Amino acid sequence: MKSQAQLFGSMMTHPRRHLGRTVFILPSLFTVSNIFCGYYAIISAMHEHYDFAAQAIGIAIILDMLDGRIARLTNSETGFGLQLDSLADVISFGIAPSVLAFCWGLTVLNYQLGWIAAFTFTICGAMRLARFNVQAGLFKHFVGLPIPAGGGAVAAVVHFWVEPVTSPLASGLLVAGIFLLAFLMISTFRYSSLKNLTLGRKSHFTILIIALLVALIYNYSDWTLLIIALTYAASGPVAKFYSMARHRRRSPEALRVQEAGKGN
């Protein structure tokens, strides 16, 4: 017969095993929920429930941010989880937004051009994910617009207007916007990453900004989400052009300094 110490030890060992399994499964549960939101968004868009589809994509973005952070905090990152997360992103932020944009108003101007724009968005999003998986850990910033931000921009536009596009002019602008987002995803523009955002003793200002954003999204979700999505999408090109302008301004000054040094 087992002693009381052995019985107590076995009782303590089993909860630890179950806890360890739960920790490894937890990030995957968030990823599966992400896939569900993407699938729900596709079905909703096909049934002309456009705002529901946009909101589902927004929830998928939150879940996508949480699954990676939870995996890092619990030290439960696995190759399986990385591949599952990439597949989830293709569905929720590549296919779902393109289907939503296609059903919402891409085809009003021209049917063939509409589905070409939608497919271009999807394939560029997939290429962006493939590049991210290859370059993961090499940069502190994102190279190209992240696919969740691209899908979020489409969802934010739909959530803002809600009513489907009926005019050829608006449809043409939507087509141009979809092509632009697709280009930004495969571009080399640098975008800031929120992965390094941590809350410590000196993060009162960060907490205040997050609380303010939550309050604005709760009360004015249409305007707030649209401004956030478009601002982040434009931040890459704006930062690049600003850096180029500063470099051009410094070049004449550097030449003057070199010439002055040679003269001395």
pLDDT band at residue 80 under the 50/70/90 scheme: confident
Q: Has residue 144 been placed in a domain?
A: yes
> What pLDDT is recorded for position 74?
75
Q: When comparing pLDDT for 13 and 113, which is higher? A: 113
- What's the pLDDT at 12? 44
Residue 180's CATH number? 1.20.120.1760
Query: What's residue 77's pLDDT?
Result: 73
Q: Specify the range with the lowest mean pLDDT, choosing from 75-79, 94-98, 139-143.
A: 75-79
More confident residue, 149 or 205: 149
- 237 part of a folded domain: no
Given this model, what pLDDT does residue 11 score?
42
158 in any annotated domain: yes
For residue 221, tell me if it sits in a domain: no
pLDDT at 87: 93
Asked whether residue 235 is domain-assigned, the answer is no
Give me the number of domains the chain comprises: 1
Q: Which domain holds residue 36?
A: 13-201
pLDDT digits (tens, 9 = 90+) for 176-221: 999 999 999 999 999 988 765 655 566 677 788 888 999 999 999 9
Predicted confidence (pLDDT) at residue 249 exceeds the cutoff of 80: no
Q: What pLDDT shows up at residue 70? A: 82
In a domain, 262, yes or no: no
Q: Using H for helix, E for strand and C for coil, what is the string for the chain?
A: CCCHHHHHHHHHHHHHHHHHHHHHHHHHHHHHHHHHHHHHHHHHHHCCCHHHHHHHHHHHHHHHHHHHHHHHHCCCCCHHHHHHHHHHHHHHHHHHHHHHHHHHHHCCCCHHHHHHHHHHHHHHHHHHHHHHHHHCCCCCCEECCCHHHHHHHHHHHHHHHCCCCCCHHHHHHHHHHHHHHHHHHHCCCEECCCCCCCCCCCCHHHHHHHHHHHHHHHHCHHHHHHHHHHHHHHHHHHHHHHHHHHHHHHHHHHHHHHHHHHHC
pLDDT band (50, 70, 90) for residue 24: low
- The verdict on residue 71 lying in a domain is yes
Q: Of 13-17, 63-67, 190-194, 197-201, which gets the smallest average pLDDT? A: 13-17
Look at residue 264 and tell me if it is in a domain: no
The confidence score (pLDDT) of residue 223 equals 96
